[in-house]
Structure 1
Amino acid sequence: MKLAQESKKNRHSFLKGMLGLLLFVFIIFVGRFGQIMLLGEVNHQDLKSNAVALHERSSTLQAKRGTIYDIGGNPIAMDATSYSLLAILTDQWVDPDAKPNHVEDKEKTAEVLSKHIDMSKEDILKTLNTKNASQVEFGNAGKDLSYAEMRSIEQEKLQGITFEETPTRLYPNGVFASHLIGYASFKEAQNKLESRVAGDLGLEMSLDDQLKGKNGGQSFTTNHENFVTDKDDTSNQPKDGQDVYTTLDSRLQTYMESLMTEAYEKYEPESMTGMLVDPKTGKIAAATQRPTFNAQTKEGIEDMWQNLLVETPYEPGSTIKVLTVAAAIQEGVFDPNDYYQSGAVTVGNQTIRDYNKVGWGTISYLEGLAHSSNVLMVKLVGEIGYDKWEEYLYEFGLLQKPQSGLANEASGSMNYTYEPEKVSTSFGQGIYVTPWQLVQAFTAIANDGKVMKLQTVDRYEDESGNIKVTKPESKQSPISKETAQKTLKYLNESMKIDGSTTSMYQIEGHELAVKSGTAEIYDEDSGGYLEGGSNYLFSVAGFAPADDPQYILYITLRRPQKNTQVPAPTILSEIFNPLMTRALDYGKLDTHSGDEQVDIPDVQGTDINAAQQQLSQAGILQANVLGDGQKVIDQVPKANQTINSNVPVYLLTDGKVQMPDFTGLDLNSAQSLAQMLGIKLEFEGDGVVVAQSIKPGAAFGKNTEIVIQLQET
């Protein structure tokens, strides 16, 4: 009885204690809750701000990178979209009643994807079997897919396979002054606002500040179901980059690329360079090199990263004699009718010989120029004076960076201590220059004695339409107008002398001033110059017309390895003569080219060459040939229409036709072209074509279906 009473008493005490504890906790909770309601804070954290932040979302508004055009407004580099391949593995990312959107048949998916990306079925399957992953990517093999590649995978209708869009850059011309234009790629930053397409090479890199623009941002609020309830469309709008109009003329650049490729494949030289320049303004109309790369696919970039035009100095050989003769005329020591003994001359302890070792006896200075006599140059530089000759080299702009604006440009160098070294520079040995420097120096010869800074940019245009024109810039005047004119006259006359080293560069109907070069190549391993065969750097520099040059064309060819029985001057003439002819026949494009209205002539039934000439004479800037035939059987646009001069005209020949490149065309032009070829055309978007579902150059049949993607530029 006593024990029962004590037990009951203990229970009452326990219950009282528990009630007291609960009451205490309740008071604390109510007090804390009251504090939170009153102050809106927990541990100094603003709950209202945190609640708002929980439902705030933001996205980056990508700025449009400026488009790079040729001087006539034809696009060279423009914004586009690439695609990354993704596979959804989780079944949790879909509403219960909806169709599954994750990969279920991994075996089939791997087999199909292996046909579209550079990845084996086994490796794809391994990726699809990644544990504890909701979504997977496929490494480099699944990145940077083109629109055509994305469409081909999409058409397989694989469950769970999707794509992520990434800004990228489109280069519709492929191989087109590739090291000069360069390329850009998407760079993802930790701060999404800083993620953008950025330049990696060439003008894309050196003009990145002008091209890039500035990203904007957009913020919005979602409710508890993740639906957008408020959006601020005006917050931090993007600022687009400037468009850049280069000095390049697509008509001449494309032709130069074609001629260089043909020679490169036929003769397999170690390297080649080519520059076509307007000496009055310094504008570069065309420029390229071999090896080169395709800016769109990046094929070939691993073979040569360097821009040979500005980064790699070499001994130029006899083309530098143009400057030697000009300096000698300026100093009054070159008279074309004076005579000297050719063959050999001793300077210090070294004998310097003409290239044929024996010379041509006693000949005139003009004949010495025609035969490219080293002995004559030694004589001239001795009379000029070594210190004065060194001054001329600097005044012509050699041995210093040319301020091209491109990365890694070289200043060059020379050996100029001993007398044999000093005289050797007069015929291009022991002095190292780049093509850019040498062509820039040549502008003095073609421009009344004034050196013109070479230019790659004609003008800039911002998103508001404001235009900033790049003005021609004269650097210095090492020679007089009279000296420049005499130099051209003597070069022209020397071409017509029997045995001249430049006779093969004459072009019917045009007067030119030309100097060729054959430079020995120093071998660092042996410590001497390579000998015999084709172990030389061959070059040619031409001015046309000779009496008032509108163009300078300079080409180099280093150590051809194939078909070596063909003389190097013949190889160079296969590029020089047709390119200079076309440049002179076409005339220059100016900054307003493309705005003129022209009437299209009827060229059906004519041969290709005649058709192209008629179109050029009519003022049409771009004529594209379809097929490998010789006769035009159809044309787009049709005859007797009036168009802007920069609208391309397509000529269909009677030969085999491959899928054309639609990139850069507007919808009307693309539809007309497709109709002429019997192709069924589907399109997405507005603007100009940036991608197509069937690659250019592919075979196709009548009623082939192609999808093109258009985008505003």
Structure 2
Amino acid sequence: MSSKKNKLLRYVLKNRYIPSQNRRRVGQSLILLTVFIFFVFLINFAIIIGTDTKFGVDLSEGAKNVHQKEVTVQARRGTIYDRTGVPIAEDSTTYTVFAIIDKNYVSELKEILYVQSQQFNQVAEIFKKHLGMETDYVLKQLNQPELNQVYFGTLGKNISYSTMTTIQQEMTAAGIKGISFNASPGRMYPNGTFASIFVGLANLVENEDGSHSLNGVSGMEYYLNDILAGQDGKVVYEKDSYGRILPGTEDVKVKTVDGQDVYTTLSADLQRSLETNMSIFFNNARGQYANATLISAKTGEILATTQRPSYDSDTKEGLGEEGVLERSLLYQEAYEPGSTMKVMTVATSIDNGTFNANATYTNNEYVIADAKINDWTLNAGGSAVTLNFAQGFSLSSNVGMTILQQTMGDEKWLNYMSKFRFGYPTRFGMGGEAPGLVPDDNIVTIAMSSFGQGISVTQTQMLRAFSAIGNNGVMLQPKFISALYDPNTDSARLSQPEVMGKPVSEKAADQTLKLMIDVGTDPYFGTLYSHDIAAPAIQVEGYDVAVKSGTAEIASETGGGYIKGAYINSVVAMVPAEDPEFIMYVTIRQPEVFTMLSWQEIINPTLKEAMLLKDSLNLTEPAPALKAITTETEYKMKNLVGKDPGTSAEELRRQLVQPVILGNGSEIEKVSVEKGTNLIANQQILLLTSNLTEMPDMYGWTKENVDIFSEWTGIEVKYKKEGSKVIAQNVNTGSSLKDTKKITVTLGE
């Protein structure tokens, strides 16, 4: 151990100098160290100046964080209105209270801007009075000297505007500074249960920067989110040495763009009436699900629609409960329609020239291949009778409809189904739409589709088809948007009816309506004539009503035939029957307590209300509240080549453009307008898909689009008469395009 100590001493004392020399050596060392540190500083300074970074950290950004604050400015979410301007869904800002307790928070004039300790009890009393907070809790939050500001938990959030202003007024009266509020966007649905599943909901979501925005999660709120949401803005403020925002230093980085308002086609008065009537009907019938929709026969506009079970959009009562569907029965649920399909069967048979109302048949068993088709009267224990075809329609005879279909032939019948667009989603602007299914390779199911079995549809598809019967053979697209209003430019886009073709003639449609009257008035064969009241079950005083009922078996979801004893009951009603203004379609699945007169609880009062309000609905004038707006909002054509035609059509219709999809290919190959073109409201454009093999129904096309179709296909077009729209064509819809060289098109208005 001593040897190690001696070695250490010898090393320390080696080269030992006198004190003056030692001081000189220390000085020299310090000079060298200083020079080294100086060069290190210069090198770091050069790096910082040259790269604005150090150790991978953006120094300018760090400085901004210290001296600047970026604030998100919430865009106003567009309001959803009914057709006359009654709010259905609108922004409802809520507030969160906080208290500033930082004693350094004073104005330039040394005015105290924080809550003083002697004021804590007063603050607690006001919060208890208006927010229900416990005094001890408020005092505990305020007595935290290590914090600059404090919040007050759940009770301090979601405060209404009126409560917020009351608290502000009482604080001001008491001379209390430092109580402030943060605003948070909210969504209010003032009508409660009001087309709830169709309109949908918007919820608050947190953004990456910690701010909050409203986002649609279902229904219109979801599918129109891009239109309603707008764009949040960004503003940068300077901060003082204490991190407080300096007023007047704001720098707008991203301009706030408020969302557009949507004027729906719904009538608030008719919707409220339908909701009331539906509740009575559903509660008494005790079905699994029910849906009812009322449309304008002349425009295709959805005036009222609801389903059960449902929920209160404002209170959220019923939301998420067992039985409440997350999907819309109007367009997201496919089902077999049953005997209401016979309306189209009769109309096509008349149009085809193979319907003879007075020709007779016996409604006993009808055999096709290995299948036996029976009438419901025989299944109920009755005997076969001789009927003419008009009576067979009134009696809802499956055998009669099968004979009509067989007389037309499978090819002709399927061609008519294609004209009515069965098997194709409506693409009316909402998403997640069920496509439905038309049988095309089985002679039994093709025959069964004539009476509504073996075919699946959505309610929007049925309403689209019914519009042709109620509108002189001209089929209309269902619509739910009346107008779009852009508050940023004070401009609007107004909707007009969209023609989807003419599957049957005006004569065929009119004769079908007359036969539908008999369904309710014929005391011997009418399935909607009630012997209990010796009158039609469905009636509107002063008017004839065209009606047809349906009872369809429900197909098993496992593919094993039909569910025993399970049915969907339905009715379509049009009024006035001679020239319909309104079409109403109601379905109910598996009702427990149900008779023919059950329909009176929902259809009769709703149609009566519609006829009373007819003149005030402004069916020929979209969104009368926007009458003074003279500028149309622009919408630029996007690049749709290679995109899905269905979703593209939905997006276009949301902007009130009228797309015509040609073919059934999976991609769009050509578009009739160039990318970047401003599309005016109700402009008709062609979308050519990758698989166009059959002649489309050109009824309602513009002459310009016929010319483009001719250019795309190489088919020569000859025009007859004058006009801007197609009213007839000499090559049948569904004909093979490869065999078509020429076509004659008749123009009109």
TM-score by length of 1: 0.71
Do structure 1's residue 290 and structure 2's residue 308 form an aligned pair?
Answer: yes
Partner residue, 1:184: 202
Q: Which amino acid aligns with 1:520?
A: E
- Shift of the alpha carbon at 1:166? 2.0
Partner Cα distance (2:471, 2:591) in 1: 33
Number of positions where the alignment pairs a residue of Structure 1 with one of Structure 2 = 576
Q: Which amino acid aligns with 2:85?
A: G
- Shift of the alpha carbon at 1:236? 3.1
Partner residue, 2:230: 213
Q: Which amino acid aligns with 1:66?
A: G
Q: How does 1:545-694 map to 2 (within 5 A)?
A: 545-561=576-592, 564=593, 566-567=594-595, 569-587=596-614, 588-589=617-618, 590-591=621-622, 593=624
Partner Cα distance (1:87, 1:182) in 2: 36
The answer to whether the 8 Å contact 1:87/1:103 transfers is: no
Partner Cα distance (2:59, 2:507) in 1: 84
1:410 aligned counterpart, secondary structure: coil
2:527 to 483, 486, 501: 501
Partner Cα distance (1:332, 1:455) in 2: 32
Partner residue, 2:350: 329
- Shift of the alpha carbon at 1:521? 1.9
Q: How does 1:2-151 map to 2 (within 5 A)?
A: 10-27=18-35, 41=49, 45=53, 51=63, 54-83=66-95, 98-99=115-116
Q: Which amino acid aligns with 2:78?
A: G
Deviations 1:669-704 (A, max 9, x none): xxxxxxxxxxxxxxxxxxxxxxxxxxxxxxxxxxxx
Distance change >3 Å, CA 593–CA 39, structure 1 → 2: closer
- Shift of the alpha carbon at 1:296? 2.3
Partner residue, 1:483: 508
Distance change >3 Å, CA 145–CA 557, structure 1 → 2: farther
Partner Cα distance (2:574, 2:555) in 1: 29
Distance change >3 Å, CA 476–CA 137, structure 1 → 2: farther
- Identity across matched positions, percent: 32
Q: How does 1:219-238 map to 2 (within 5 A)?
A: 219-225=236-242, 226=244, 228=246, 231-232=249-250, 234-238=252-256
2:269 to 248, 251, 254: 251
Distance change >3 Å, CA 591–CA 417, structure 1 → 2: closer
1:382 aligned counterpart, secondary structure: helix
Q: Which amino acid aligns with 2:494?
A: V
2:185 aligned counterpart, secondary structure: strand
Distance change >3 Å, CA 219–CA 153, structure 1 → 2: closer
Partner residue, 1:601: none
Distance change >3 Å, CA 51–CA 393, structure 1 → 2: closer
Partner residue, 1:457: 481
Partner Cα distance (1:39, 1:416) in 2: 75
- Shift of the alpha carbon at 1:156? 14
Partner Cα distance (2:571, 2:163) in 1: 44
Deviations 1:559-616 (A, max 9, x none): 123xx2x41x2222210000001101110334354699xxxxxxxxxxxxxxxxxxxx
TM-score by length of 2: 0.67
The answer to whether the 8 Å contact 2:94/2:160 transfers is: yes
Partner Cα distance (2:35, 2:438) in 1: 92
Distance change >3 Å, CA 555–CA 155, structure 1 → 2: farther
Distance change >3 Å, CA 346–CA 557, structure 1 → 2: same
Deviations 1:375-426 (A, max 9, x none): 1111111111112111111211211111122121011124454333222111
Partner Cα distance (1:340, 1:365) in 2: 8
Do structure 1's residue 544 and structure 2's residue 543 form an aligned pair?
Answer: no
Partner Cα distance (2:338, 2:361) in 1: 22
Partner Cα distance (1:594, 1:459) in 2: 10
Partner Cα distance (1:501, 1:48) in 2: 81
Distance change >3 Å, CA 23–CA 309, structure 1 → 2: same
The answer to whether the 8 Å contact 1:222/1:229 transfers is: no
Distance change >3 Å, CA 13–CA 47, structure 1 → 2: farther
1:278 to 296, 317, 334: 296
Distance change >3 Å, CA 26–CA 289, structure 1 → 2: same
* Gapped regions of structure 2 (runs ≥ 5): 1-13, 107-111, 529-535, 628-749
- Shift of the alpha carbon at 1:264? 2.2
CA-based RMSD of the aligned residues comes to 4.4
Partner Cα distance (1:451, 1:150) in 2: 53
2:75 aligned counterpart, secondary structure: coil
Partner Cα distance (1:114, 1:231) in 2: 34
Do structure 1's residue 418 and structure 2's residue 442 form an aligned pair?
Answer: yes
Partner Cα distance (1:266, 1:318) in 2: 23
- Shift of the alpha carbon at 1:113? 12
Q: Which amino acid aligns with 1:199?
A: G
Deviations 1:192-221 (A, max 9, x none): 68x532211111121122212122221222
- Shift of the alpha carbon at 1:165? 3.4
- Shift of the alpha carbon at 1:161? 11
2:560 to 527, 530, 534: 527
* Gapped regions of structure 1 (runs ≥ 5): 1-5, 118-123, 597-713
Instruction: Choose 435-444 or 462-471, whichever is displaced more.
Output: 462-471
The answer to whether the 8 Å contact 1:87/1:161 transfers is: yes
Q: How does 1:439-450 map to 2 (within 5 A)?
A: 439-450=463-474
- Shift of the alpha carbon at 1:543? 0.9
Partner residue, 1:196: 213
Distance change >3 Å, CA 188–CA 382, structure 1 → 2: same
Distance change >3 Å, CA 99–CA 72, structure 1 → 2: same
